[in-house]
Amino acid sequence: MTNSIKLRSKTLEQPVYSAALAVFRLIFGLMLFGGVVRFWLKGWIEELYILPKHYFHYYGFEWVPHLGNGTYLLFLICGLSALCFALGLFYRLSSILLFLSFTYIELLDKTNYLNHYYFVTLVLLLMIWLPANTNLAIDNIIKPATQKRWVPAWTVWSIRLMLFIVYFYAGLAKLNSDWLLEAMPLRLWLPAKNDLPIFGSLLNEVWVAYLFSWFGAFYDLTVPFFLLYRPTRPYAFVAVIVFHVATSVLFPIGLFPYIMILSAVIFFDDKDIDVLVLKCKNYFTILPVDSGSDMFTFAPKLRYVRLYAFAVFFVIQVLFPWRYLLYPGELFWTEEGYRFSWRVMLMEKTGYAQFVVKDAETGNTIGVNNNDFLTRNQEKMMSTQPDFLLQYAKILYIHYQQMGIKDPKVFATVYVGMNGRRSRLFIDSSVNLAKERDLFRHKTWIIDYKDKIYGL
């Protein structure tokens, strides 16, 4: 091994207090547990994963089976493993189970795709491989040898890097003409909240939409730096709280603000966290907090494999959001390469899709009532996203084939409105969607968007 790699790996393997990782684990796990409970109590398990007649699968995950009432069991596993994960109980097993069950849920229906769920999936994937149970964990009580005061620096930094990517890319995505020059879509969304107490009337003002847009972009691009830099960190953390609480008041984005606020704890100085947990131990002596001086080391065989695997993971994370550049056409319009790229709150996009099914043999035509097949939320997603349109066409094809039509042709007239512009025809209505395939190639049946949105 060359000296430079050794040196670099030395920096990466510098000891940092394990308490930083442990506290993050505790907070993240409890939050996910709360998220599962919330989902359950709101009746969303049934609404989103049991009642729908059809589901929209992710590309390559068509095989993921739906569980019917067994979905409750899946959520039970997810919730319990989140709790065990938080407490550091059987950490390796619980972290794997949590990752698998959470990801399974996400894979059930891409209608419910949210960027922050994707973020959670990625963090959980990382956490499986990190020694997050070396402190403040029940595992340490069961097996004291697992307790270590120190962990290699890269373990903490990998979580920080993940958060950094999320924020920074979300900021980059806001550098476009609609967001900065038109204050879209906030200009449509903010007045919808003008009945809020005290600040409500301000939300009518166009300049407020501009201020929010610009501040939002500035915030996303800079807050990870301010969080990393010790002198600005306290202010940045206050900004994190204010910003995300404000978004949770203004928009129906559920857990996302709290995930971001609590995750930002990972930016705190590991020494400060160590001091904090030691103080806590003074009050609650039962807490398994380490005051020793052992350093956690990975088994030498897999040490570098793990490090390189993480490097590959992050290279993918850094590159993946740029895949949209490989597609022609307007990203916001085609959404080819839009998902998994930290594009949050960027578009007010609404569609209307009227499907007709034609029997090639008899010439009979049937108008489709989408509500017979899809939930309202599925219909909303389907009407604006080409891959959903195709999958829905397949659903219709199979349905009408079972109804006795030999080779149903599926056509759709779709109108889409985006960021306040007048609705226009979205796809070629003369294309038999049942015969089109959902590939990574550009979908040529999408009608080109005439307006240009400048920027990233």
Residues 6+ apart with CB under 8 A from 398: none
Considering only residues 123 to 162 of the shown chain, the ones binding another protein according to CB under 8 A are: none
One residue of 76, 280, 356, 456 binding another protein per CB under 8 A: 356
The distance of closest approach from Cβ of residue 308 to another protein in the complex, given in angstroms and rounded to an integer, is 33
Distances (CA, A) of 311 to 92, 96, 118, 376: 21, 20, 19, 41
| Binding mask of the shown chain, residues 24 to 53, with x at each position contacting another protein by CB under 8 A | ------------------x-x--xx-----
The distance of closest approach from Cβ of residue 202 to another protein in the complex, given in angstroms and rounded to an integer, is 10
Q: Which CB atom, from 112 or from 121, has the smaller least distance to another protein?
A: 112
- Could you write out the DSSP letters of every residue in 182-200? S-TTHHHHTGGGTTSTTTG
The distance of closest approach from Cβ of residue 436 to another protein in the complex, given in angstroms and rounded to an integer, is 21
Considering only residues 357 to 376 of the shown chain, the ones binding another protein according to CB under 8 A are: 363-367, 376
Considering only residues 97 to 116 of the shown chain, the ones binding another protein according to CB under 8 A are: 112, 114-116
Collapsing DSSP to helix, strand or coil, 427 comes out as: strand
Cis peptide leading into residue 131 (ω within 30°): no
Residue 397 binds to another protein (criterion: CB under 8 A): no
| CA pair distance 156, 153, nearest whole angstrom | 6
Where does this chain touch another protein (CB under 8 A) — which range of 12-20, 24-32, 250-258, 315-323? 250-258
Q: Which residues pair with 357 in a beta bridge?
A: 366, 410
Q: Which CB atom, from 364 or from 444, has the smaller least distance to another protein?
A: 364
Residues 6+ apart with CB under 8 A from 250: 189, 190, 193, 203
Q: Which CB atom, from 160 or from 174, has the smaller least distance to another protein?
A: 174
| Binding mask of the shown chain, residues 177 to 196, with x at each position contacting another protein by CB under 8 A | ---xxx-xx-xxx-xxxxx-
Collapsing DSSP to helix, strand or coil, 440 comes out as: coil
Residue 351 binds to another protein (criterion: CB under 8 A): yes
Residue 249 binds to another protein (criterion: CB under 8 A): no
One residue of 251, 313, 320, 340 binding another protein per CB under 8 A: 251
- Could you write out the DSSP letters of every residue in 293-330? --B----HHHHHHHHHHHHHHHHHHHHGGGGGGGS-S-
Token duo for residue 177: 């003409």
Where does this chain touch another protein (CB under 8 A) — which range of 144-152, 301-309, 356-364, 427-435? 356-364
The distance of closest approach from Cβ of residue 251 to another protein in the complex, given in angstroms and rounded to an integer, is 7
